[in-house]
Amino acid sequence: MKVAVVGATGLVGSKMLQVLAERNFPVTELIPVASERSVGKEVEFKGKKYKVVGMKDGIAAKPAVAIFSAGGGTSLEWAPQFAAAGIKVIDNSSAWRMDPTKKLVVPEVNADVLTADDFIIANPNCSTIQMVVALMPLHLKYKIKRVVVSTYQSVTGTGKKAVDQLFNERKGIEGEMAYKYQIDLNVIPQIDVFLDNGYTKEEIKMVKETCKIMKDDSIRVTATTVRIPVVGGHSESVNVEFENEFVLSEVKDLLSKAPGVIVQNDDTSQLYPMPLWAHEKDEVFVGRLRRDETQEKTLNMWIVSDNLRKGAATNAVQIAEYMLSEGLL
């Protein structure tokens, strides 16, 4: 099976190569694709070096699937051209997520929406992915009415420039700034641009994507997204109001049996999810499970996941794995 990774030299693209190798996706030929300035560079996959090619050569190579992580503008321009050539595209940008003609997929939640006719499949926003993986089993049992989420997001979500900024600041070195403000020893309550309603684009993504993935527009979501100086993954404080009453022990049991979820919830031993432990893992970690004592039928929870893996690369590869298993590739 020929597989193209578009944006292969970037932070997420490199992680996609790593995840494809670790999960033993049946790649018979890798086609690393990137912008013209990266053409000719080499990437490594399973101990072998591959030369990076441009978009047109990537299409001409006729891969079965192309996993994109090259930005929204690139995806809008090139994903339809790959699809027109009969290549299935799994896109990690925001370009197609809210397009009503495109599927937005988290395999543990809604892989069943995929069909043979889907040629451009959208990978959701990293912060949305980990939240819906944890929320879906609870929604099926208790029906979610409202979600209030505050995120604590890793600098890796911004890219290499942001990681470099953090470590330069930590070492007292001046360098390029990915953010307007210092990120080390600081918290920045802005991810993406501000919209007219005072929310950021990242916050509205979480609102809209959650309803689309969970196939329920009645779920009300409000979000505050925040950048913090860590690299291991994103964390989320989530307050969930249900239509039906729940039992806390049953919630723990449901989550412990949910696909892709690991429950870390032991107050006695101070066990709870942290980016330090989620780093380089594919699961979504859930803990700090407790009732909201100010309101009926409401749960507080803490959700952590590696945003470069489950929040991006792993989710995309899992989509490809599902399509392959169902004969859609």
State the Cα–Cα distance between residues 84 and 81, nearest whole angstrom. Answer: 5
Same domain (yes/no): 104, 89: yes
Are 262 and 196 part of one and the same domain?
yes
234 included as an active-site residue:
yes
Same domain, 12 and 44: yes
Determine contact, residues 263/255, Cβ cutoff 8 Å. yes
- pLDDT attached to residue 227: 98
CB 183 within 8 A of CB 227: yes
327 C-beta neighbours (distance < 10 Å), count? 7
Looking only at the bridges linking them, the beta strands covering 103-104 and 120-122 are parallel
My answer on whether 146 and 293 are in the same domain is yes
Domain enclosing residue 166, as ranges: 127-307
Residues 108, 178 within the same domain:
no
Tens of pLDDT, residues 172-206 = 999 999 999 999 999 999 999 999 999 999 999 99
- Count of other CB atoms within 10 angstroms of residue 73: 10
Q: Within this chain, do residues 61 and 132 fall inside the same structural domain, yes or no?
A: no
pLDDT at residue number 88:
98
Alpha-helix residue ranges (DSSP H) falling in 23-106: 55-60, 72-84
Structure tokens that stand for 89 in this block: 């595209």
Does residue 105 sit in the same domain as residue 145? no
| 284: β partners | 261
The answer to whether residues 148 and 100 belong to one domain is no
Instruction: Reply yes or no on whether 211 is catalytic.
Output: no
Question: Under a CB-based contact definition with an 8 Å cutoff, are residues 69 and 13 in contact?
Answer: yes
| Claim to verify: residue 85 and residue 198 sit in the same structural domain | no
Cα–Cα distance list, 199 to 99, 190, 262, 297 (Å): 21, 9, 31, 27
Query: Among the options 126, 139, 211, 279, which is catalytic?
Result: 126
183 and 260 within one domain: yes
92/190 same-domain check: no
pLDDT digits (tens, 9 = 90+) for 92-145: 999 999 999 999 999 999 999 999 999 999 999 999 999 999 999 999 999 999
